[in-house]
A = this chain, B = another copy of it.
């Protein structure tokens, strides 16, 4: 069984849906269960796994890596994405007194090397700068990327939560162009459609990745007016089309011509499988705007 793959730049393809590992520590899974979860995702065609050094208070990469090292064949069947650049206040990082960013050459390299060790692998397929850092020295980032690539430790680079000008500036300093910008996109968060980020991705011919593609769950339980309006549309569609609200929210993203890649946040394999049902939903353009209008609370201008 396979699902469509998205070719990011000629040499890296991701699965159409990506598995987000950020809550792995919360799921309290055994090593075997974690391995089984990974394997089942791969069987379903969800071969790309989205990490960050800081997920689970700096623990998720290692939990994942332990499962991975149990089966050496597993690594070659997947794409590993991870991130660096945020420093969290954490008992695991006692020298951090505040939350801050670090995109110095030294930190990028040591963070990536730390991720390699935690993940029990010799390469990261895609490393992202996690947040735009107001203290960025683009020359240092470029040097770090160059060295990590030369050493075979990281194969491709991207960013997360970058504005167009932030993206263009870093990109101009790099040997190889950035290949994605991972941002929050959902029917509940239309910001990227309105601040130029989606158009910018189309201008550079890159595919955006979407975090919180279900809007952080607000659509299911939120009592604010936006959540209520969006839920109402989804409930009606759900009844008419026999599809779940998750599936409809994912389908709404998949329909966009910029080839948005949603990152699933569930640890339950049956919810992953269900989400894949989104791949078979065809929404009309009018329906796409019906959800847009519900989110906006008014019709388009």
Contact = CB atoms under 8 A, between A and B. Distances in A.
Contact of A99 (B100, B102, B163, B299): B299
Interface stretch (A61-69, A119-127, A128-136, A213-221): A128-136
Contacts of A285: 100, 102, 104, 135
Given A285-B102, A290-B98, A199 B169 contact: yes
Contact of A289 (B101, B163, B203, B286): B101
A248 to B, nearest CB: 16
Interface in A242-279: 255-257
**Total copies of the chain:** 3
A138 interface: yes
Nearest to A138: B202
Contacts of A140: 257
Nearest to A140: B257
Contact of A200 (B165, B255, B289): B165
Chain A, interface size category, equals 35 or more
A166 interface: yes
Interface string A275-300: 00000000001101110110000011
Contact of A131 (B97, B256, B301): B301
A87 to B, nearest CB: 8
A288 B135 contact: yes
A223 to B, nearest CB: 24
A169 B168 CA distance: 14
Given A99-B299, A135-B257, A257-B137, A166 B196 contact: yes
A106 to B, nearest CB: 10
Nearest to A294: B98
Contact of A169 (B166, B200, B292, B301): B200
A236 to B, nearest CB: 12
A117 interface: no
A6 to B, nearest CB: 15
11 contacts: A100-B292, A100-B293, A102-B285, A135-B285, A137-B257, A139-B257, A140-B257, A163-B196, A165-B203, A166-B199, A169-B200
